[in-house]
Chains A and B, each alone.
Chain A
């Protein structure tokens, strides 16, 4: 029997706008995410890629119930989260964490970084006193920071170090699942590989599952077992990473792949298929078709002709 996925997202919908503006004009309804379904297995990394405005960050927040969806189901370890109130949700918050793009604004500038990392453990009452200090020191070591830095403030750290601090806080409660929303985009190039390696190491040590939201496809290829491609609020293709890169089916996936700049001056630039997003909004009638095991593409129902 196939084990149940750690995270099972079904038919997630979220729209913004609607109603009337201050002047009584109707505001347009924007379907930020539209019928999004996917699973993440324990210890797996699923990449979620798409252009800005495709809804990928909205999916991340909806999954963690930070900005709940309008409808649809989010099951975590078999429990339906969308119907839980704040009190019942609390034990699940321990197991699901988020890492943001901007390591600067995610930190509290007036709080010593040791306290910042300790805070979730205090809130959830898992440690206090010298035990708490020891655990924070262990977390610092785990993410590659000197524990003596605990009593410093955020401005004393570089971007890469700040992201390590954010990661230390995110793993403090030993979660099973982390949403990482463009975690390396704001970092210097010479630091990006360090953080990616840290993600890998933590996954190996703690069995973490990641939803890795990104627009850098070369990193996604390196890090993720499976990739989901989003366009205008819908997943248009989801497949094992090799399939996405070797055999992309959806024209949008192909245009994304062709757009990756290749750091090899001898490689001829691929012809870039023009893909006009505004003329290719996924239609309501389209549905996911399995083209090979685990490889799904959004296609129109009566396309076969």
Chain B
């Protein structure tokens, strides 16, 4: 397999009145051709900032890209001109962001907005162009696409607008589709339809997908690989099954454990991760999750753990100084002894 996207040592900082905020800290990872990568994180994890940085969409200043390369299809996105990046965005890399109202132009018809993307990035013109626009709206499940071409965004419901954005993101058969919380604002039933749609697009076109979300359920349904981010770093990454069944980072473990399980009864308390996400202007010295982690060792508080492979695994990586499975086994044994 070959990497379609190869991010190396990406570091992004923001200059704020409160000091320098390190939003992304030496981030490196690859996405293989045809892979779906689910990126999970909360506010301050760096998940959205690094996406915007590699697409050249971060306002600089206040943002500053301190270091890093992002190789896509033989080109380093970080050194491309704005003009060259514009050619890639919407063409070879399709994007879908969270807010369907602010991502569409309210004074242009939906058909016009799709046409602009296609005219910029493809040779389609005239009847073939029109046919492709109708086809795209049909693919994303918008009923009566021909009639809706001449309508404006406000005439579409939230779910339908999000579908239009996905149609725009997919318009030029991108090799890479990046979605950042693309279904978060939608109703669960609409989200389910969008996920089905993305799955179908992957099957039909072999599209590589980066799906940024906070929802572990969405990751489990859609992704091949999951990457858990916190404090601008990767805490854990690997095949979805492996990470969900045997998490090595206490943060991943806590996120999974705090989800209400089926059949959980009202009287039992949910497991809760203590504390709050870190203050980005004042990051802890060592492992960013250490202050909230009751498994943390002394070393966790002083030294940042490197991302390393789980013993015997080629693709499951984690960043922690502690051995989570051993600690969990000991806790379970202690609980057994007590009862």
A positions within 8 Å CB-CB of B: 45, 51-52, 158-161, 188-194, 196-197, 200, 215-219, 221-225, 245, 255-256, 258-267, 269, 272, 275
Instruction: Name 15 A/B residue pairs within 8 A (Cβ), A-sorted.
Output: A45-B266, A51-B190, A189-B255, A190-B258, A191-B276, A193-B271, A193-B273, A215-B188, A221-B260, A221-B262, A259-B188, A261-B191, A261-B192, A261-B217, A261-B220
Known: A188-B42, A221-B264, A275-B189. A269 touches B273 (CB 8 A): no
Asked whether, in the complex, the Cβ of A262 is within 8 Å of the Cβ of B43, the reply is no
Q: How many A-B residue pairs have CB under 8 A?
A: 110
Query: B218 interface residue, CB < 8 Å from A?
Result: yes
B221 at the interface (CB under 8 A from A): yes
Inside 8 A of B189's CB, which chain A residues have their CB?
51, 255-256, 259, 275
| B-chain residues with CB within 8 Å of residue A262 when the two chains form the complex | 217, 220-221
Most buried by B among A161, A218, A219: A218
Interface size class of B (residues with CB under 8 A): 35 or more
Chain B residues with CB below 8 A from A217, complex form? 188
Q: Are A188 and B192 in contact (CB under 8 A)?
A: no
| In the complex, B196 has a CB within 8 A of chain A | yes
Give the CA-CA distance A194 to B274 in the complex, in Å: 8
Question: Which residues does chain A contribute within 8 Å of B273, judged by CB atoms?
Answer: 190-191, 193-194
Smallest CB gap from B193: residue in A:
A272
* A261-B195 contact given A190-B42, A190-B258, A197-B269, CB 8 Å threshold: yes
- The residue in chain A whose Cβ has the minimal distance to the Cβ of B45 is A188
Q: Which of A190, A260, A267 contacts B254 (CB 8 A)?
A: A190
Residue on B nearest A264 in the bound complex, by CB:
B220
Q: Decide: A265 near B241, CB < 8 A? Known: A189-B42, A193-B258, A272-B192.
A: yes
Q: A192-B258, A261-B218 are in contact. Are A158 and B277 (CB under 8 A)?
A: yes
Q: B residues within 8 A CB of A258? A: 192
Residues of B participating in the A interface, judged by any CB pair closer than 8 Å: 42-43, 158, 187-193, 195-196, 214-221, 240-241, 244, 251, 254-256, 258-260, 262, 264, 266, 269-274, 276-277, 292
Known: A263-B220, A266-B241. 14 other contacts (CB 8 A): A52-B158, A52-B187, A188-B42, A190-B254, A190-B273, A194-B273, A217-B188, A222-B260, A260-B217, A261-B191, A262-B217, A263-B216, A263-B259, A265-B240
- Cα separation A135 to B206 with both chains bound (whole Å): 61
B277-A188 in contact (CB<8A): yes
Specify which chain A residues have a CB less than 8 angstroms from the CB of B187 in the assembled complex.
Answer: 51-52, 215
CB distance from B220 to the nearest CB of A (A): 5
